[in-house]
Amino acid sequence: MSGTRVAVYPGSFDPITRGHEDLIRRSLAFADRVIVAVAVNPAKQPLFTLEERVALIREAVTERGVEVRSFDGLLVDFARGIDATLIVRGLRAVSDFEYEFQMALMNRTLAHEVETVFLVPAFDLTYLSSSLVREVARFGGDVSALVHPAVRQALARKFGR
Ligand code: PNS
């Protein structure tokens, strides 16, 4: 569709957190369609299967204009395939910067027509990460303020609670 601004928001989403949800909703301020792209990422051993991660995002984010897909291979190839001109990534802290900068420059080298935009999450979600959520849930901590209820239930089932 011409004139439609498409943004891709890639990640592992293992699982989606309130921080990811916040960035997806913020992206709708400047994109007509936001494609949440869940990486197969064979290098990582995710807690949730690809299908589970996709299903949880669909439960957590139901806004119009948001679609959830999975992808394998290079992000820029996926972005080109869906006519995305923007890659959205979140920057939480200085510690994120080097990796994100490296990735943005590499993606630009591979596809100069695709621009990376960094979004700052809501202040109270800045410290949040999927790995912390998994760790807290693994040891029985309360994650209800950090994830959608469907994700909280899925974590409880994974850890046999
Ligand atoms: O949430 P994550 O794990 O930080 O997301 C990383 C992700 C999936 C965005 C990144 O690993 C990625 O883009 N993988 C796809 C392969 C690729 O394109 N690699 C080159 C990026 S420079």
Q: What's the average model confidence in pLDDT over 21-47?
A: 94
pLDDT at res. 44? 81
Q: Alpha-carbon distance 145 to 148, whole Å?
A: 8
pLDDT at res. 147? 98
Would you say residue 161 has pLDDT above 80? no
Q: Alpha-carbon distance 124 to 135, whole Å?
A: 19
pLDDT at res. 2? 59
pLDDT at res. 93? 85
pLDDT at res. 94? 86
Long-range contacts formed by 155-159: CB under 8 A, 24+ apart: 155/15, 158/47, 158/48
Would you say residue 63 has pLDDT above 90? yes
Question: Which amino acid is it at 47?
Answer: L
SS (H, E, C) 21-39: HHHHHHHCCCCCEEEEEEE
Q: Alpha-carbon distance 158 to 21, whole Å?
A: 21
pLDDT at res. 137? 98
Please give the number of the atom of ligand 1 that sits closest to the Cα of 73.
Answer: 16
Catalytic residue status for 44: yes
pLDDT tens-digit map of 76-101: 999 999 999 999 999 988 888 999 99
pTM over 0.75: yes
Please give the number of the atom of ligand 1 that sits closest to the Cα of 44.
Answer: 3
Task: Please name the residue ranges forming H helices in the chain.
Answer: 18-27, 50-60, 75-81, 94-110, 130-138, 149-158
Burial (CB < 10 A; 0-12, 13-18, 19+), residue 142, is: exposed
Tokens of 85: 């001109």
pLDDT at res. 40? 93
- Quote the percentage of the chain above a pLDDT of 90: 90
- Quote the percentage of the chain above a pLDDT of 70: 98
pLDDT tens-digit map of 122-147: 999 998 999 999 999 999 999 999 99
Ligand 1 pocket mutation pick from 103, 108, 130 by most atoms within 8 angstroms of CB: 103
Q: Is 28 left (phi over 0), alpha (psi -120 to 50) or beta?
A: alpha
